[in-house]
């Protein structure tokens, strides 16, 4: 299997982390989200990441379809290490949180910060490259604060984000948070319970290769890949 | 069960249509998407529609979690009328399209048109009510055209949108399209294959109650609830 991804795409990180936890072997294809190459649009008309090339070379597009596919085809063999809970109501909570971190946090904050601080540096001028928009960054940073308050509350009131066990919700959340953390956009001392939770997820071996990724445009903050920070 | 919805929320329509097809009984609670009432935010911190109150009064939030929950708890009893296909790769395509119509089309077009043309008329001034933004409407209308070209292509190259049988993808697409059609935003003669497909989905009895909904701010176009138009 092949995964079309970008190291600063939170949703791509989520799927890589999930496949790592499930022991799925795959190779990575780097795709710039701003390139709308005809070949890639043929795979995913939405032009978004991630895209998984699965059995019979079929493209599975987007975090919702890929995450369910991986769990449906590999989850049962994971037994108690499965990242989807047994009961429909508990799965509904995991899915709410995946949506929260991969769609809502992305729209509210991550998308703008990654675009302004990383993509615009690498993008050619005619694709939208250039100076960052400080108003967009300010609005996004405000939203990061709101989101961190909610994450801190979740982490403080449950053992893992969606309940008693580690689930795909934690994997999605950590993947998304790691992109913001790379850019130094998270003030950890203000969110001690989220920090404690993040440290636990961060120490999982499947997260290591993701934390080792770098982009040319920006060096990560010093604590970024530390397991205790 | 209770469904918090708004008649002009495409995602709410999708879930109502899906529950109708599966014969699920529920009552409706009207929720204005611009009201951020504390009671509602307690049910769904994201403040978005739809929200389903299921067994043991637990809130299931958002189209992704609700649609999977309904299918998981009722789907197997539907046998060949189940709206999720049997094979993982086929389910992945259904999920890609649900995402396309409930997230992408919504972001690209439906959200702005509903806000400018319907919500702003009903919203109090201090919640954002007032005159519509014509630039936002123009951009959204351009996107409707692009989306209709893609829908027309899909409808023309497959029997139903995701393949040989009717699936949740058709239900999601028809629900989303019906909101645009209510406002007269769709030029059907330009999309004959999409029109033929829509007519087939529109004639399903589970769609009738949704097509009978009206909002005070705007009367639907004349062909809106006709089964052959």
Summarised one tens digit per residue, pLDDT across range A173-215 is 999 999 999 999 999 999 999 999 999 999 999 999 999 999 9
Residues A54 and A71 in one domain: yes
Q: Do B91 and A100 touch (CB under 8 A)?
A: no
Instruction: Determine whether the interchain pair B88/A66 forms a contact, defined as Cβ–Cβ distance below 8 Å.
Output: no
The reported pLDDT for the residue numbered B229 is 66
Q: Which of B55, B65, B69 sits opposite A99 (nearest CB)?
A: B65
Q: Residue A177: give the domain boundaries.
A: 88-205
- pLDDT tier at A126 (50, 70, 90 boundaries)? confident
Of B54, B58, B64, which is closest to A95 when you measure between CB atoms? B64
CATH of residue B28: 3.40.30.10
Q: What is the model's pLDDT at position B56?
A: 87
Mean pLDDT of A103-109: 97
Q: Choose one of A60, A81, A102: the last residue of a domain.
A: A81
Contact criterion met (CB < 8 Å) for A99 and B62: yes
| A89 to B54: CB separation less than 8 angstroms, yes or no | yes
Q: What mean pLDDT is predicted for residues B93-100?
A: 98
Any idea what DSSP says for residue A57? G
Q: Are residues A167 and A109 in the same domain?
A: yes
Please determine, for residue A12, whether its predicted confidence score (pLDDT) is greater than 70. yes
Same domain? For B19 and B125 the reply is no
CA distances from B103 to A147, A154, A160 (A): 20, 25, 27
User: Mean pLDDT across chain B, nearest whole number?
Assistant: 96
Task: List the one residue out of B101, B72, B92 whose CA is nearest residue B201.
Answer: B101
Q: Within a domain: residue A101?
A: yes
B24 contacts B185 by C-beta, under 8 angstroms: no
Residue A198: give its domain's CATH number. Answer: 1.20.1050.10
Task: Report the residue of chain A nearest B151, measured CA to CA.
Answer: A45
Q: Is any Cβ of chain A less than 8 angstroms from the Cβ of B75? A: no
Q: How many domains does chain B have?
A: 2
- What pLDDT band is residue B88 in, cutting at 50, 70 and 90? very high
First-to-last C-alpha distance (Å) of chain B? 35
The beta-carbon neighbor of B45 closest among A45, A64, A150 is A150
Find residues 125-144 of chain A whose CB sits inside 8 Å of chain B.
none
Q: How far is B92 from chain A (nearest CA, A)?
A: 5
In-domain check, residue A183: yes
Cα separation, B120 vs A199, in Å, equals 44
A chain contacts of residue B55, beta-carbon cutoff 8 Å = 89
pLDDT in tens, B180-213: 999 999 999 999 999 999 999 999 999 999 999 9
Coil, helix or strand at residue A4: strand
Q: Are residues A126 and A97 part of one domain? A: yes
Question: Angle CA(B18)–CA(B20)–CA(B25) in degrees, nearest 5?
Answer: 115
Q: Are A187 and A152 in contact (CB under 8 A)?
A: no
Distance, C-alpha B7 to centroid of its chain: 10
């Amino acid at each position: 299997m092949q995964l079309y991804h970008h190291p600063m795409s939170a949703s791509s990180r989520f799927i890589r982390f999930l496949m790592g936890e499930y022991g799925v072997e795959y190779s990575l294809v780097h795709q710039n989200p701003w390139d709308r190459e005809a070949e890639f649009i043929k795979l995913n008309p939405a032009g978004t990441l991630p895209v998984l090339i699965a059995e019979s070379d079929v493209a599975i597009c987007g975090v919702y379809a890929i995450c369910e596919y991986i769990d449906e085809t590999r989850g049962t063999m994971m037994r108690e290490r499965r990242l989807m809970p047994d009961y429909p109501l508990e799965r509904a909570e995991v899915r709410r949180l995946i949506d929260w971190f991969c769609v809502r946090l992305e729209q509210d904050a991550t998308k703008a910060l990654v675009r302004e601080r990383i993509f615009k540096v690498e993008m050619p001028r005619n694709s939208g490259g250039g100076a960052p928009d400080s108003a967009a960054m300010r609005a996004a940073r405000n939203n990061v604060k709101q989101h961190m308050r909610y994450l801190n509350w979740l982490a403080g009131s449950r053992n893992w984000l969606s309940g008693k066990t580690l689930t795909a919700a934690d994997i999605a959340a950590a993947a998304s948070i790691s992109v913001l953390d790379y850019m130094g956009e998270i003030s950890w001392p203000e969110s001690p319970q989220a920090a404690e939770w993040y440290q636990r997820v961060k120490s999982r071996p499947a997260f290591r290769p993701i934390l080792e990724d770098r982009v040319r445009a920006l060096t990560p903050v010093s604590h970024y890949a530390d397991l205790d920070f």
